[in-house]
Amino acid sequence: MAVAHPSPRNYFLILRIDPPRLNLDLEELERAFYKLSLEFHPDRNPNQTEANELTAFLNEAYRTLKDPWTRADYGAHLYKVSASKKVPTDLAEIYFELQDSNEHSEWKNFAGKLEELAENQNLRLKDLFQEFDRSDERQRKNIAEEMASLVHEHQYLESMRRDLETRMKVSHAV
């Protein structure tokens, strides 16, 4: 059985999520992935090269869409949107305060503040997914721009969280 190629690099099409949506049920996504994995498996298709390519593409699509942050980044990419490379203003202030701090007790406060910001980002991302799914093509570009900015902020925040965690571990080791 020959397998038809989906549009190049459209993860939604290969996973048969039509129309494309960002607010996904992860269990449904996993079921679709496993079903398609069996369908595209090289042992079930006469064209081994095509089956291997489709299987690799399917795996890439699943890895991207199962994580909400990579899914948001991918959604922005589909609309040819990229975030500014500037440091987010509210995070820059916290970053400099953190760099000036040498007290372990202050670091715990920063960890709590960063955790709260991460929770707020996760909630905002869910809201953007819902807005994206309800909107028309014209509105989706604007939402994709906001998602790209949020992904950028999230990357900075996660970097700050890792740095703080490392700092706290090193101070305990000393």
**All structural domains of the chain with their residue ranges:** 11-66, 89-173
Q: What is the pLDDT of residue 5?
A: 38
Q: How far is CA 45 from CA 15, 104, 144, in A?
A: 18, 59, 37
Give domain 11-66's CATH number out of 1.10.238, 3.40.50, 1.10.287, 1.10.357. 1.10.287
Residue that the structure tokens 């953190």 belong to? 98
3-state secondary structure of 6: coil
Render each residue's pLDDT in the chain as its tens digit; 174 residues: 333 434 457 899 999 998 889 999 999 999 999 999 999 888 888 888 888 888 999 999 999 999 999 999 999 999 998 877 787 888 888 888 888 888 777 888 899 999 999 999 999 999 999 999 999 988 999 999 999 999 999 999 999 999 999 888 887 765
Q: What is the pLDDT of residue 37?
A: 92
Structure tokens at 27: 């269990």
Rounded Cα gap, residues 126 and 21, in angstroms:
12
Q: What is the pLDDT of residue 124?
A: 98
Structure tokens at 43: 């042992």
pTM of the entire structure?
A: 0.84
Structure tokens at 174: 């000393």
Crossing angle of the two packed helices 68-78 and 48-66, in degrees rounded to 10: 110
Rounded Cα gap, residues 154 and 69, in angstroms:
8
**Residue 76 and residue 140 in contact, taking contact as beta carbons nearer than 8 Å:** no
